Structure 1
Amino acid sequence: MANFVLVAGAWLGAWAWDEVAPRLRAAGHGAHPVTLSGLAERQGLPAGQQTHVQDIVDEIERQDLRDVVLVGHSYSGIPVGQAAERIGARLRRVIFVDSNVPHDGESFVSVWPPLGERVRAALADNGGFWPPPTADDYAGQGLSGEQIARIVGGSTPHPGATLTEPAVLARPLGELPATYVKCLLDGDEPNPDVAALLKSDRWRLVEMDTGHWPMFSQPLELASVLLDAAAE
C-alpha cells in the first residue's frame, strides 16, 4: 500500500483533491491531501517557502507515513521536491503534476524572469499576496464552466514569501525516483529545466491530454496516472 500525500498549487487547498483522493483510497491506498499554511482553511497563517516544505514533512511524520508518494501540482512542486529529499526512506516516489521544480538557491520568481516580474508586481499591488486568477484565465484548459466556478470560488490569495524565498536542496533532484506529468493543453513540451531532469534514468514522463488543473478536468484519469506511477 502506498500513501499518497497530495499538495495542490497556488491559491488552492486540500479540497482540490476531493475527486481524486477517494479513487486512490478505493484502490487500497492511503490518500492525504494537505493544505499549506496561508491557504484555504489555513488562510491568515504566516508562510514562507520553507514553511510549506515543513508543512509537508510534518504531515508525513505526524501520521508516521511510509511508502510515501508525494504529489506536487504547479507551484507546489517546489516545496514537494524539497520535502521529498527530507523524508528519506519514507519516500517511494515523487510525482510532479505540470509543476515547477525546485532549484537550489532559486525561488519561484527567480527561475523564469518574465513571469517573476509579473508576480513581483502583483505582490506589490496586493499587500504581499498573489491574487487568484479570474474565470477568464482558465479558458482553454479543458475545464467546464462549473469546474471553473468551483476553482475560482475556492481559491484564496497566495502568500508572497513562498514565491520569493529560495529553495534548499542537499543533492541533485535528478537522483529522486520521480514521474513528471505534462498536461498538454498547457504546452506540449516540458520546460527546459524539467527536460534536463528527464534525462535521469530515475525520472519518467507521462502526458495527459488536458489542461493545467487535471484534478478538476480529468480526476479519474489523473488518479489512474498516480496509481500507475506509484507501482513503478
Structure 2
Amino acid sequence: MANFVLVAGARLGAWAWDEVVPYLRAAGHGAHPLTLSGLAEKRDVPAGQQTHVQDIVAEVQRRDLRDVVLVGHSYAGIPVGQAAERIGDRLARVVFVDSCVPADGESFLSAWPDGGAEVKAAIAENGGSWPLVPASYYEGQDLTDEQIARIAAGSTPHPGATLTEPAVLARPLGDLPATYVICLYAGAEPGDDVAELLAGEHWRLVELDTGHWPMFSRPRELADVFLGLAT
C-alpha cells in the first residue's frame, strides 16, 4: 500500500483533491490531501516557503507514513521537492504535476521575467499576499464553467513570502525517484530545468492531454497515473 500525500498549487487547499482521493482509497491506498499554511482553512497562519516544507514533513511524521508518494502540483512542486529529501526512507517517489521544481538558492519567482517584479509588486500592494485571479484566468484549460467557478470560489490569496524565499536542497534533485506529469494544454514540452532532470536515470515523464488543473478537469486519469506508480 502506498500513501499519497497530495499538495495542490498556489491559492488552493486540500479540497482541490476531493475528486482524486476516492479513486486512490478505493484501490486500497492511503490518500492524505494537505492544506499548506496560509491557505484555505489555514489562511490565517503566517507562512514562508520553509513553513510549507515543514508542513509536508510534519504531516508525514505525524501520521507515521511509509511508502510515501509525495505529489506536488504547480507551485507546490517547490516545497514538495524539498520535503522529499527530508523524509528519508519513508519516500517511495515524488510526483510533480505540471509543477515548478526547486533549485537550491532559487525562489519560485527566480525564473520569471525580471525576477517576478510584477508579482512582487502585486504582493506588496495586497498586504503580503499574491491576490486572486479572475475566473477568465482558467479558460482554455479543459475546464467546464462549473469547474472554473469551483476553483475561483475555493481559492484564497497566496502567502507572498512562499514565492520569494529561496529553496534549500541538501543534494541534487535528480537523485530522487521522480515522475513529472506534464499537462499538454499548458505546453507540450517541459522547461529546460525539468528536461535536464528527465535526462537522468531516476526521472520519468508522463503526459496528460488536459490543462494545468487536472485534479479538476481529469481526476480519474490523474488518479490512474498515480495508481500506476504505486504498483
Bucket of the pairwise TM-score, normalised by the shorter protein: over 0.9
Q: Deviations over 1:112-162 (max 9, x none)?
A: 234712211211221110012211000100000000000000000000000
Unaligned runs of 5+ in 2: none
- SS of 1:51 mapped into structure 2: helix
- SS of 1:109 mapped into structure 2: coil
Match of 1:107 in 2: 107
Partners in 2 of 1:35 and 1:106 — Cα distance? 23
- SS of 1:110 mapped into structure 2: coil
Q: Deviations over 1:68-92 (max 9, x none)?
A: 0000000000000000000000000
Match of 2:220 in 1: 220
Partners in 2 of 1:116 and 1:146 — Cα distance? 31
Partners in 1 of 2:10 and 2:186 — Cα distance? 16
Unaligned runs of 5+ in 1: none
- SS of 2:188 mapped into structure 1: coil
Q: Trace 1:183-194 onto structure 2 (pairs within 5 A).
A: 183-194=183-194
Match of 1:41 in 2: 41
Match of 1:229 in 2: 229
Partners in 2 of 1:19 and 1:118 — Cα distance? 33
Number of positions where the alignment pairs a residue of Structure 1 with one of Structure 2: 231
- SS of 2:72 mapped into structure 1: strand
Q: Against the structure 1 CA distance between its residues 135 and 194, is the aligned structure 2 distance closer, same or farther, given a 3 Å change threshold?
A: same
Match of 1:154 in 2: 154
- SS of 1:71 mapped into structure 2: strand
Match of 1:11 in 2: 11
2:202 matched to 1:202?
yes
Partners in 1 of 2:192 and 2:90 — Cα distance? 29
Q: Trace 1:37-76 onto structure 2 (pairs within 5 A).
A: 37-76=37-76
- SS of 1:102 mapped into structure 2: coil
CA shift for structure 1 position 67: 0.1
Bigger Cα displacement from structure 2, 152-161 vs 113-122: 113-122
User: Over aligned residue pairs, what C-alpha RMSD do you find?
Assistant: 0.8
Match of 1:31 in 2: 31
Counterpart of 1:10, as a letter, is: A
Counterpart of 1:2, as a letter, is: A
Match of 1:130 in 2: 130
Q: Deviations over 1:147-206 (max 9, x none)?
A: 000000000000000001000000000000000000000011101110111011100000
What's the % identity of the aligned pairs?
Answer: 74
CA shift for structure 1 position 230: 2.7
